[in-house]
Chains A and B, each alone.
Chain A
Amino acid sequence: MAEVSLHKLNKKFDTTHVVKDVDLKIRDKEFMVFVGPSGCGKTTTLRMIAGLEAITTGEIRIDDRVVNEVPPMDRDIAMVFQNYALYPHMSVASNLAFGLKMRKFEKAEIEKRINNAASILGIESLLQRKPRQLSGGQRQRVALGRAIVRDPKVFLFDEPLSNLDAKLRVQMRVELKKLHERLAVTSVYVTHDQVEAMTLGDRVVVMKDGVVQQVGEPLELYNTPANRFVAGFIGSPAMNFADVTLVENGGKPVAEAPGLRIGLPGELATRARAKTGRKATLGIRPEDIHIATAADAPEYCFDAAVEVVEQLGSEILLDMRAGAALMVASVEPTLRVRAHDNLKLALKPERLHLFDAETEAAI
């Protein structure tokens, strides 16, 4: 049982304001992921929860206890670091035991917990080794084990997978997910990788420049991004953006740019109408663009010249120019396209996004 709540949390290093007014409630047993580009304040926030960084203003509660002044050792948390931070002079077993010894657990209990954690992680055979005799993935497991044996209220993860190679990272990601399902402990996970955020998180916090941009379930962020930054950050390949002007055309609102005119459907049209004549940013994901057929309404179609064809096997990415805008489309792998071809493309109207050109907020 543990909830973590952050209230008006701020952190300043000298004159730089790295975390600004973060308000967040992390529910019991939830896997919360902080994601954002480097320097966005996500790690600092995590370190404040851990007690490794002093809080400038604001409040952190674990359950109902304000922990602002509580030292890390008394917060009942466990943390997994990016570089694993295994104690190099101790065997794996002693690494796992250290936290329990510091808390004066009985020998038998320590042994029981070590064996339990080791069997969960499949590291029974490594217990007598020193950290330097382990591979990257094994070290990662030991670091996880050290957190598990403690049976803490909250797990904190600081980019734990970023030192692993790509293949291992995917594998460990799955294991982390299983582990969380099995242990059901409130977890806070920091990463700069949106794929990790989407796959692991029950909910995801997107941060930029110390400010929370949006909090929501992964698909919520993907489907209804709150602003242009979230839209561009979540999803791969990234969402296409085109600078447009909102105009009325025959009584209907359309988004217009040189060489590009896209109609706006339903509710989006209603919201856009209020901003007629203003500049805006049109957003559409590469996977929501396809080759136009007779079934596509002409106002959602546009012409584009293919510049680069990227064959990925499972899909083809087309880098195209539509008027002044550069766009990427993800199309069927069976399609035969070559660079410099001119194509007629269509987009899914219900998947269109519009952002205010000034505030960048979703319209």
Chain B
Amino acid sequence: MIEGALWRRWVFYNLPLILFVFVLLFPFYWMIVTTFRPDGELYLPWNAPNYMPFWTNNPTLEHILYLFEETNFVRWMVNTMFIALVSTVISLFCGVLAGYALARLNFPYAGGLGTAIFITYLVPQTLLFIPLAEIIRNFQLGDTPWSLILTYPTFLIPFCTWLMMGYFKAIPKELEECARIDGASRWKAMVYIIIPVAVPGILSSGIIAFTLSWNEFIYALVFLSSPDQKTVPVGVTSELIRGDVFFWGPLMAGALLGSIPVAIVYSFFVEHYVSGLTGSVKG
């Protein structure tokens, strides 16, 4: 908290905070308003006499109904959920084990290997999707959820590994040594002591991995083609933008509903999440 006169608190604390919150939340507000605005208002020119960009007096559910009745939105949600969950679980499993190994097992070049793994995360997807498409085609996985479930870990595993490695390093070595003296093998010490202590870290990398796969666009766009198989980001943009016509109402309704699961996941684990990112293990 900033000490001193009232104006100081406003200038250095309250105003910047309000500005920050406004910038972060305005897109959501815009999404909500557009979702409930009737088409008649949506397509008014900006200089029309009754133009009200930030509010509507005639809220409607027509866009949401359209989304559920005229498109495969429910199907897309199910697809996205399935793909994001499975690829997150796979990536977490590998990431936790790899992170532990890199942080704790002394083997030559562990440090270099850790960096190398992180570098693979930095290779842009726009470069990778072409060779990956070839592989997906060879395995005849195109247009199935498995094409994404197996490709998302290519960037999620390095990410989880790197995050978990940092987290494991922050856990005092003595905990594990004590467990091993107490009669646990290295594996049991990891399962009973280190992993439970690392839960905040595991949750935060899980949440981020889930969000990354939920929002992933380019692989989903390339590997999936039939409307039934699509994920939310691809489905909404491909089915609700026809040529140069943007169906803003349903588009925003789709974006809004699509962000709800992620918001729920975040709010559910927010406490663990923050302590996971700040890496605090209190004894």
Contacts and interface: CB of A to CB of B under 8 A. Distances in A.
A78 B181 contact: yes
Nearest to A89: B196
A52 B281 CA distance: 22
B181 A79 contact: yes
Given A73-B184, A77-B181, A88-B197, A98 B192 contact: yes
Interface in A62-119: 71-73, 75, 77-79, 81-89, 98-99, 102-103
A157 to B, nearest CB: 12
Contact of A102 (B172, B182, B196, B281): B182
B183 A103 contact: yes
B282 A132 contact: yes
A155 B206 CA distance: 41
Contacts of B131: none
A146 interface: yes
Nearest to B171: A88
Interface string A148-182: 00100000000000000000000000000000000
B178 interface: yes
A89 B181 contact: no
Contact of B283 (A71, A72, A78, A131): A131
B172 A87 contact: no
Contacts of B184: 73, 98, 102
A228 interface: no
A71 B281 contact: no
Contact of A146 (B180, B182, B188, B282): B182
Contacts of A82: 174
B274 interface: no
Q: How large is the interface on B (under 10, 10 to 19, 20 to 34, 35 or more residues)?
A: 20 to 34
Given A87-B193, A98-B192, A139-B283, A72 B181 contact: yes
B16 to A, nearest CB: 34
Contacts of B175: 85, 87-88
A50 B181 contact: yes
Contact of A72 (B172, B177, B188): B177
B283 A88 contact: yes
Contacts of B172: 83, 85
A245 B265 CA distance: 80
Interface string B167-204: 00000101101111111110010001100110100000
A132 B282 CA distance: 7
A88 B281 contact: yes
B220 to A, nearest CB: 38
Contacts of A73: 180-185
Contact of B174 (A72, A78, A85, A98): A85
B182 A81 contact: no
A224 B172 CA distance: 41
A102 B182 CA distance: 7
A99 B283 CA distance: 18
Interface in B47-65: none
B102 to A, nearest CB: 20
Contacts of A85: 172, 174-175, 177-178, 283
B89 to A, nearest CB: 22
B50 to A, nearest CB: 60
A320 B283 CA distance: 47
A51 B174 CA distance: 13
Nearest to A81: B174
A72 to B, nearest CB: 5
Contacts of B181: 50-52, 72-73, 75, 77-79, 99
B192 to A, nearest CB: 7
A99 B174 CA distance: 15
A316 B193 CA distance: 52
A74 B184 CA distance: 10
B179 A98 contact: yes
Contacts of A146: 178, 182
A132 to B, nearest CB: 5
Contacts of B188: 102
Given A85-B177, A88-B175, A98-B192, 6 more contacts: A72-B180, A73-B184, A77-B181, A83-B283, A87-B178, A102-B182
Interface of A: 50-52, 71-73, 75, 77-79, 81-89, 98-99, 102-103, 131-132, 139, 146, 150
A-B pairs, top 10 by smallest CB distance, nearest first, are A99-B182, A102-B183, A85-B174, A85-B178, A81-B174, A89-B196, A72-B181, A73-B183, A72-B180, A103-B183
25 contacts: A50-B177, A72-B181, A73-B180, A73-B181, A73-B185, A75-B181, A78-B181, A79-B178, A81-B174, A83-B174, A83-B283, A85-B172, A85-B174, A85-B175, A88-B197, A88-B283, A98-B182, A98-B192, A99-B181, A102-B179, A102-B182, A102-B188, A139-B283, A146-B182, A150-B182
